Amino acid sequence: MNTGKLRLLHLRDQNDAAGEAMSRERDRFARIAGEEPTRAISSFNLFQTPEDIAADMAATLAGLIPAGGRVLEPSAGLGRLCRSARRHGLGPIVMVESSPECCAELYRQSEQTGDRLVQADFLACDAGRLGGLFDGVIMNPPFKQGRDIKHIRHAFAMLKPGGVLISLCFNGVRQNKHLRPIVDTWQELPAGSFKAEGTAAGVALLTWTK
């Protein structure tokens, strides 16, 4: 078989593999939509917080910060943590999200709740841009390439003295080295906690008081 034909077969296999991956992503985002007001979301690497974990995080934060305290949700995705926080009496809430598709959904939600949405790369924001320091942070940062470590540290810097951050992170070697020794609590979630959201990653839940 000549080289040209081999290359064509190789390209066909690559295209087939890419098509299968895209099909899996489409199915996952169809599941993400569920009962939420999602219309068209194409932000890959979006793994939402499962509803039960979001509720536990919101309830924990509500018991640790003053009523009416300012709350930040970085990398808000489709706002599942924000909605859970609202159900537990938290707010006002500032959401930060870079994806235009996610922001379209978050904007519709913020119109009803009065929460603030900032479309931006969270790591490029400072507290001044977001209206000042916060009493609490609730977050599910991106895990890829250790970005959760940077996002969590950046969010911690935006807390008032005595403020509390509650966050998910990848339960990996770097996270255990750089975050676990300095946070207040570290809980390894059961294996498969995020399976329904499209990832088998091991996840930890942490709290950190400034």
DSSP symbols for 79-123: SHHHHHHHHTT---EEEEE--HHHHHHHHHHHHHH--EEEES-GG
**What is the tens place of the pLDDT at every residue in 124-148?**
999 999 999 999 999 999 998 999 9
Indicate if 16 and 87 belong to the same structural domain: no
Q: State residue 116's pLDDT score.
A: 97
H-helix or E-strand spanning residue 33: helix 3-33
Indicate if 113 and 192 belong to the same structural domain: yes
Indicate if 25 and 126 belong to the same structural domain: no
**What is the tens place of the pLDDT at every residue in 4-43?**
555 555 556 665 555 555 555 555 545 544 444 444 344 5
Indicate if 74 and 143 belong to the same structural domain: yes
Q: 98 is written with which tokens?
A: 């870079």
For residues 72-98, give the mean pLDDT. 96
Burial class (CB in 10 A: 0-12, 13-18, 19+), 202: middle
Domain that holds residue 21: 1-33
Q: Torsions phi, psi of 46, nearest 5?
A: -95, 110
CA torsion angle for 143, 151, 210, 189 (degrees, to 10)?
-10
For residues 66-85, give the mean pLDDT. 96
For residues 59-65, give the mean pLDDT. 98
Total of domains in the chain = 2
Indicate if 139 and 181 belong to the same structural domain: yes
Is 62 domain-assigned? Answer: yes
**Is cis: bond before 92, omega within 30 of 0?**
yes
